[in-house]
Structure 1
Amino acid sequence: MKKLILILLFASILFACQTNDDIPLTYEEGTNEYINDWIYTQMKRYYYWNESMPGKGNLSLPPKEYFGSLVNKNDRFSYAIHTSSAETFPQSLQNSFGFDLSFMEYEGQVYGVVMYVLSKSPAERNGLERGQLITAIGGTALSQENYNNLYQNLLATKDAKLQMVSYSEKSGFTVPKQINISQGFSFLQPVLSQVIPYQNNKVGYIEIPHFYVGLSKSLLNAFQEFKNQSVNEVVVDLRYNGGGDVSSATALSILLAPNIQSTNQFIRFKGNSNGGEVNQTFKESLEMNESQVSFEALRAAHLQIRRVYVLCGGHTASASEIIINNLKPFMEVITIGEKTVGKDVASFPVEDDRIVGAQAKWVLYPAIYKLFNANGEGNYAAGLQPTVVLKEFQELEVFPLGNMNEILLKQALNSMSGNRRSIKGMTIQTLKKQNLNVVSEPLVIKKTWP
């Protein structure tokens, strides 16, 4: 009896000493508090900037808003989505219609120039082509005062109504026509490659729109054809490549880099105190998401080159920037165009799997790792400056990608003969799209820690 009394007395003292903070709170399933408490826990564990995060704060906020309240002010890329809520997904014309615009002014007229059109996209099916000029959106003519608002409206609509003209130096402007495009899906994009005879060189040109998982086979085929045709210079067009799979980017690097071994370090991931540092060789980085194409097969298609020309710009991000930064320890990388996005972070998806079998769930894409090359060089959040600075749109006539008259490719070809001075075009003012979030692909890596 005395022992029982002592045990009960000790237990009551312990209970009395507990504070409210010692008692874990539980929330009703499905409430904002239930979701946001989970979000906070995951961010505290995985987020690169976890030590600068605020306290839990107001857990009753909508989850998208709550997630944003935890994100570091220098972080442009972390986001959260709900798998059954389309409005939580990053918005872009590429995702909605399969194209994107830049804006420019010439002789007092504002034009939207079509930068690219994805293959088999709603835009392509309705006749949109790179280089076409948009003069009105939704029936409203473009001007200095309204082009940003009209672009924002275009992002939010499901049906695009565009007034178009085309221009060539030889024949001038065409008659305006209207194109109507409805939202739809665009699927995996093909790699475009060709061999260009130029002076005493055979130039292999390859345009890669996205580093999707499994791209290695297509890259291998393209480079094998380059090798068959004795290519001795390579131009890689990444100006509209927003990133994707690190293994596919590694495959391209293996094809390009001279004198490398499978055991050479290729990439370094630096995380918070929980994640630590992960160093990967070329072989390890390739095999994260690639099982069909080996390091040895890729090396067999390597060309006898010591340098590579990379065409880049304000849409070059993530895995594309890895190509530029992580090849530098192994070869000369000559970049031509404009400053890249500056996405020097990697993520892996963190899913809310507390409800077994649930299809609708929150998925977080927080910045988990900072990226560095084999020499420890990284920290390019402000973007990578090109070797040759050159604006893509300097003339009203815009040539297709891969055309020898296209301004960035033309500069690369000129540089091969020793002329690295930027090509001068006519006076066109490029207009900036204001207050727009950068939409790029999360750098896909496998989850390397619990």
Structure 2
Amino acid sequence: MYSSVFTNGAKKTGYLVFNTFLGTTAASNELITVFNSFISQGVNELIIDLRNNLGGSTAMQDFLANIIVPAARTGQTMYRYEFNQQLQQDNFPLLKKKFGWSNGAFKPANNTETFVKNGTLALSRIFFIVTDNTASSSELLINNLKRLWMLSSLEKATLMVSLLDFSPLIYLTRCLCTLFPLEL
């Protein structure tokens, strides 16, 4: 993990290179340290560099998303797991026996993650830098946050749609990277 802050007039932009979503206490503590530093320096824009981030723990994605999300979004749905009808109707005897799971474990109400703002970071814009190696929890983070800001276009950018509907992607041909600019 690497972080830095750039100042341009009244804009203070935090830059975070985040290479994996490993759900460890050390990684969580490092993120808290980075974002506390961003807060103390008055960061109001954020660039998250997810190039070569192959994903990892959804719990770590939840943790990071809750640091970034605007406080007004607390309590709103971040995402939910959807299971087939057999599981939702509590028809999973092997799982009950093997793992001790109880009825209701696969109901939508029990598999919905909501935003819970963590910290006081308040952003006007956020950008994601990704490549074709960016996957999994990185895509989940982008999808969870892109709904909260309006997607804006960049000059001389081509709007593309990804095969997995993790779109729209803005592909900048000169820098060989993909950016998701999100503005309040």
**Normalising by the residue count of structure 2, what TM-score does the alignment of the two structures yield?**
0.70
2:134 maps to a residue whose letter is T
**What does residue 10 of structure 2 align with?**
200
Partner of 1:239: 51
In the TM superposition, 1:239-258 aligns within 5 A as 239-258=51-70
Per-residue deviation, 1:310: 0.9
Match of 1:384 in 2: 167
Alignment of 1:158-237 (within 5 A): 191-214=1-24, 215-237=27-49
Q: Go from structure 1 to structure 2 and tell me whether the alpha carbon gap of 1:382 and 1:244 turns closer, same or farther (over 3 Å shift).
A: same
Corresponding residue of 1:312: 130
Question: What corresponds to 2:95 in structure 1?
Answer: none
Structure with bigger gyration radius: 1
2:97 pairs with 1:279: no
Contact 2:79 2:113 in 1 (8 A): yes
**CA offsets 1:158-207 (integer angstroms, 9 cap, x no match):** xxxxxxxxxxxxxxxxxxxxxxxxxxxxxxxxx11001123431110001
Offset of 1:208 from its aligned partner? 0.4
Aligned to 2:94: none
Letter in 2 for 1:280: E
Deviation at 1:256, TM superposition (A): 1.0
What's the offset of the Cα at 1:219? 1.3
| Contact 1:313-1:338 within 8 A present in 2 as well | no
Instruction: Describe the SS at the equivalent of 1:219.
Output: helix
Q: Tell me if the contact between 2:44 and 2:125 (Cα under 8 Å) persists in the aligned partners.
A: no
Find the aligned partners of 1:218 and 1:334 in 2 and give their Cα distance.
30
Helix, strand or coil at the partner of 1:254: helix
Q: Report the Cα distance in structure 2 between the residues aligned to 1:250 and 1:333, rounded to whole angstroms.
A: 21
Aligned residue-pair number: 155
In 2 relative to 1, CA 384–329 (structure 1 residues): closer, same or farther, beyond 3 Å?
Answer: closer
Change (3 A) 1:223 1:333: farther
Q: Quote how far apart the aligned CAs of 1:242 are.
A: 1.2
Q: What CA distance in whole angstroms lies between the structure 2 residues aligned with 1:392 and 1:211?
A: 28
| Aligned residue runs from structure 1 range 277-426, under 5 A | 277=108, 278-282=111-115, 299-300=118-119, 302-332=120-150, 381-386=164-169, 388-391=170-173
Residues 307 and 325 (structure 1), Cα distance of their counterparts in 2 relative to 1, 3 Å cut: same
Shift of residue 384 of structure 1?
A: 2.4
Contact 1:205–1:234 (Cα < 8 Å) also in 2: yes
**Separation in 2, partners of 1:333, 1:219:** 25
Structure 1 position 335, deviation (Å):
8.9
User: RMSD of aligned C-alpha atoms?
Assistant: 3.2
Deviations 1:397-440 (A, max 9, x none): xxxxxxxxxxx59x89xx89xxxxxxxxxxxxxxxxxxxxxxxx
**3-state DSSP of counterpart to 2:147:** coil
Which ranges of 4 or more aligned residues in structure 1 deviate by more than 4 Å? 333-340
- With over 3 angstroms needed to count, the CA separation of the structure-2 counterparts of 1:334 and 1:325, relative to structure 1, is farther
1:260 to 32, 56, 73: 73
2: CA distance between counterparts of 1:241 and 1:281? 24
Alpha-carbon distance between aligned partners in 2 of 1:311 and 1:321, rounded to the nearest angstrom: 11
Residue number in structure 2 paired with 1:351:
none
Query: How far did residue 232 of structure 1 move?
Result: 1.3
In structure 2, stretches of 5+ residues that fail to align are 89-107
- Percent identity over paired residues: 25
Measure how far apart 1:303 and its partner are.
1.7
Secondary structure of the residue aligned to 1:326 is helix
Contact 1:309–1:333 (Cα < 8 Å) also in 2: no
3-state SS of the aligned residue for 1:270? Answer: coil
Which fold has the larger relative contact order, with Cα–Cα distance below 8 Å and residues 6 or more apart in sequence?
A: 2
